[in-house]
Amino acid sequence: MNDEDWRGFSSAFDRAVRPDARPAHSGARVLAIGFAVVVAVGLAALLKGALGGGRVAASPGDVKPMATPSSRAAGAPQAGKDWTAVAGPGCASDATSGFTAYGYYTGTNSDQTTGWSTSAKGGYSGGSCTGSYLSLPVSGQPVSYDQDRFALWRFDFGATYTSASCTLSTYVPDGTRTAVGGDPAYYYYFQTDDGYATSGSSLGGYRVDQVGQRGRWVTGSPFKVRTGVVTVKLVDAGARDSGEAKDAHVAAAQVRITCHAV
């Protein structure tokens, strides 16, 4: 899907699924998990919708397994003006990279589905990362998502340069379908640090077949940034069924960004 097609798809998806209003933050609480995770809990109502016009969710971009995961240290500028960082649960965070979970809750719902869960291993364990990851419950609809429940990775390389070409790589943890069940998982990327930015304002997006790519890095195409900031947002779109996916969760693990000045 080219950039023009993606923007059209993203805009239609956004209009059908999400209102323009930003949810309230009254009563929000924050929970720290390890070094890297700050969990923001919003008490606004969860708003759901469906993609209209009979369309189904198309692939936002080509995603392919990485042959060899990078082992470069998180947050450090690299030779040749490259800058790379890894963020996610269990990874050290600082002013240049971090991870936040919004709408976090635990426990069992009335339909016997469960809330967020934490896994101590199965994620990427290189560099400063311990291998832990989070799993957020799916919305129950393949192309609808809750505007208050998502995972957000943030990268700020503005101290090095602001205009760059960047590539995102996403690690799919090795776990059960209950914990790693994105089929697919939907990601959007932005050049702002606003977690509640709509998908229609994104630079682009991609989907990852978590069920078929466990234990691998997957990567998208390069994109240009003019602000020195990139955020990556994983939404909870996903269907349930009476089989293995009856309590499916989407895994939020580690994301690596690599940028070079342009």
Query: Among 16, 4, 2, which residue's Cα sits nearest to residue 199?
Result: 16
- Compute the distance between CA of residue 240 and CA of residue 113 in angstroms, rounded to an integer: 10
Tokens read off for 125 = 């364990």
Burial state string for 133-143 with b = 16 or more CB within 10 A and e = fewer than 16: bbbbbbbbbbb
Number of domains comprising the chain: 1
Q: pTM for the whole thing?
A: 0.73
Per-residue pLDDT at 193: 83
Cα–Cα distance list, 48 to 34, 147, 175 (Å): 31, 8, 28
- Compute the distance between CA of residue 134 and CA of residue 249 in angstroms, rounded to an integer: 9
- Compute the distance between CA of residue 153 and CA of residue 130 in angstroms, rounded to an integer: 17
Per-residue pLDDT at 136: 96
Say if CB 130 and CB 34 are below 8 A apart.
yes
Pairing of strands 37-41, 204-208: unpaired
**Residue range of the domain that includes 208:** 3-261
What's the whole-number mean pLDDT along residues 68-96?
Answer: 71
What pLDDT digit, counting tens, does each position of 7-63 carry? 443 443 343 333 333 333 223 333 333 333 333 333 233 223 222 222 233 334 433
Burial class (CB in 10 A: 0-12, 13-18, 19+), 220: buried
The larger pLDDT score, comparing residue 15 to residue 80, is at 80
Per-residue pLDDT at 58: 33
What pLDDT digit, counting tens, does each position of 126-164 carry? 999 999 999 999 998 888 889 899 999 999 999 999 999
